Chain A
Amino acid sequence: EVQLQESGPGLVKPSQSLSLTCSVTGYSITSNYWGWIRKFPGNKMEWMGYISYSGSTSYNPSLKSRISITRDTSKNQFFLQLNSVTTEDTATYYCADLPFFDYWGQGVMVTVSS
């Protein structure tokens, strides 16, 4: 059974960096694409980016140069770093396998507040 689990702080101060980890079991992240999606208060969903089986990345241009997705294949984990956060980055962050959304993590709510 494929499982994804996000972890990371639930509170981040404005201007700081948000860092999350997605731990994957039951499937190797050296296969397929793995990414981050966030859901804002209300219903809006946004695809943030992915890291591929080869380690290449693709990001949503809306996040410009603030985002970085990396991985540790030895631990079967991949990571999200979002820099210079503002209150508008307050959202629930999900990791998922892409591009078909087969599997999702349970989500982690991140609040940006001083």
Chain B
Amino acid sequence: DVVMTQTPPSLSVAIGQSVSISCKSSQSLVYSDGKTYLHWLLQSSGRSPKRLIYQVSNLDSGVPDRFSGTGSQKDFTLKISRVEAKDLGVYYCAQTTHFPWTFGGGTKLELK
């Protein structure tokens, strides 16, 4: 299975601060079609997970451009600029390139 190593496991931030979350995979996530199926999800407290970014860097509709996703092959980063209170929760990276599809261990973003 592809192991997704997400760091840090938790982040304490002040409102307005910028943060980055790392996600490293044990294999390249480039699929045979040339695309990279690495996605970022946010699970806010008491809610279902919600996708923020798909295929490394594509923001979902309604997701503010304070969020950005970068990376390639085995190394990916989610950056959040100017953190707001509504950004708090657990962030996950997930890959759907290789079976079985796997998730990172999560990064809990909380207020300092």
A interface residues with partner B (beta carbon < 8 Å) = 39, 43-47, 58, 60-62, 94, 98-102, 104-107
Contact = CB atoms under 8 A, between A and B. Distances in A.
Given A43-B108, A44-B105, A47-B103, A107 B94 contact: no
A94 B49 contact: yes
A43 B51 contact: no
Interface of B: 1, 37, 39, 41, 43, 48-51, 54, 90, 92, 94, 96, 99-103, 105-106, 108
Contacts, number: 50
Contacts of B101: 47, 60, 98-99
Contacts of B99: 58
B11 to A, nearest CB: 13
B3 to A, nearest CB: 12
Contacts of A47: 94, 100-103
A104 B54 CA distance: 15
Contacts of B49: 45, 94, 101, 104
